[in-house]
Amino acid sequence: MATPNHSAPLVIETGPPPEISVIFVHGLGTSGSITNRWFSKRIDQPVRFVMPTASRRPVRICDGQVVTAWFDLLTPDFNDHVDVESIR
């Protein structure tokens, strides 16, 4: 079972008022704050980047190690089985 993550997502706005929002969902074992370095370049129009961090949970493909993950990965083949219960 996942450990709830109640921290607010990292939000970066490149100017007021943003009319575009982009939500970045990080990969297995990382966090929303890691993606922050991607936004160091100049953006031509105001954009809001939202970078949440997944809860920590045991992941079977990692031998049950507790890492940040949006859902459990049961096998290396993503098409083999989808963990629908974790995604809900």
**What pLDDT does residue 84 have?**
73
Q: What is the residue type of 86? A: S
**Is 69's pLDDT higher than 70?**
yes
User: In the predicted model, what is the mean pLDDT of residues 66-86?
Assistant: 80
33-38: long-range contacts, CB 8 A cutoff, minimum separation 24: 35/10, 36/10, 36/12
pTM: 0.72
Question: Would you say 35 and 68 are in contact if contact means Cβ atoms under 8 Å apart?
Answer: no
Give residue-wise pLDDT tens across range 8-57: 898 988 888 999 998 988 888 888 777 666 665 667 789 898 989 999 99
